[in-house]
C-alpha cells in the first residue's frame, strides 16, 4: 500500500473516531518533510466550545461554529506542512487557508462521490483554480478502487 493511501486511510479513520458531526465526518492529516512529522485535525468546534446536541443538530448553528478539518490540522502542526491529506475535497475557504499557511505543496483527497461532486461543484472548481494558480499540486485518489479489500475477486 502506498504512503498516500496510508495517510488518506488514516484520515478516514480519524474522521470516524473523532468527528462529532452527525452528518459529515471529515478529517485531515498534515505531513511534513518526513512521514513521521504528522499532525491531524477533524471538523469540530474550537477548544472550549461545548459539543451540545442543540449545536450539533442545528445546521445553521453548527456551520457558524465549526472549524474545518484542514484548519485544525494546520493549526495543530508545529512544522512546515508539505502534504495535506483530506477525506473530502477542500472548500474554497479552506483552500485559501491552506495557501495562507504558505508551506503546503500538495493536497491529496479521496475522489468524491457523484452526489458530493454535484453539491459542492462550484466550491471545488474555485479550489482547483486557486491551487493551480498558486502552484499547489492537487490529487484525487479513487479510494474504493485502490484499497485491496474493496476490489472484487473473480468467483470461480
Q: List the chain pLDDT tens, one digit each, 156 residues.
A: 799 999 999 999 999 999 999 999 999 999 999 999 999 999 999 999 999 999 999 999 999 999 999 999 999 999 999 999 999 999 999 999 999 999 999 999 999 989 999 999 999 999 999 999 999 999 999 987 765 544 443 333
Model's pTM, two decimal places? 0.90
Q: How far apart are CA 103 and CA 77, in angstroms?
A: 11
Q: Is 52 exposed, middle or buried (CB count within 10 Å of its CB: 0-12, 13-18, 19+)?
A: exposed
Of the candidates 1, 45, 2, the one whose C-alpha atom is nearest the C-alpha of residue 21 is 45
Residue showing cell 472550549: 48
First to last CA, the chain: 26
46 grid coordinates: 474550537
- Supply the residues annotated as catalytic: 70
Amino acid at each position: 500500500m502506498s504512503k498516500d493511501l496510508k495517510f488518506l486511510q488514516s484520515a478516514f479513520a480519524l474522521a470516524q473516531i473523532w468527528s462529532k458531526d452527525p452528518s459529515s465526518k471529515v478529517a485531515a492529516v498534515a505531513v511534513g518533510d518526513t512521514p513521521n512529522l504528522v499532525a491531524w485535525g477533524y471538523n469540530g468546534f474550537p477548544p472550549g466550545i461545548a459539543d451540545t446536541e442543540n449545536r450539533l443538530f442545528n445546521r445553521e448553528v453548527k456551520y457558524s461554529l465549526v472549524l474545518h478539518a484542514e484548519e485544525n490540522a494546520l493549526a495543530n502542526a508545529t512544522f512546515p506542512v508539505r502534504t495535506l491529506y483530506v477525506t473530502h475535497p477542500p472548500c474554497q475557504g479552506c483552500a485559501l487557508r491552506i495557501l495562507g499557511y504558505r508551506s503546503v505543496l500538495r493536497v491529496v483527497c479521496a475522489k468524491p462521490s457523484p452526489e458530493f461532486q454535484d453539491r459542492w461543484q462550484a466550491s471545488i472548481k474555485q479550489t482547483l483554480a486557486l491551487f493551480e494558480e498558486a502552484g499547489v499540486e492537487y490529487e484525487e485518489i479513487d479510494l474504493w478502487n485502490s484499497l485491496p479489500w474493496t476490489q472484487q475477486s473473480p468467483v470461480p
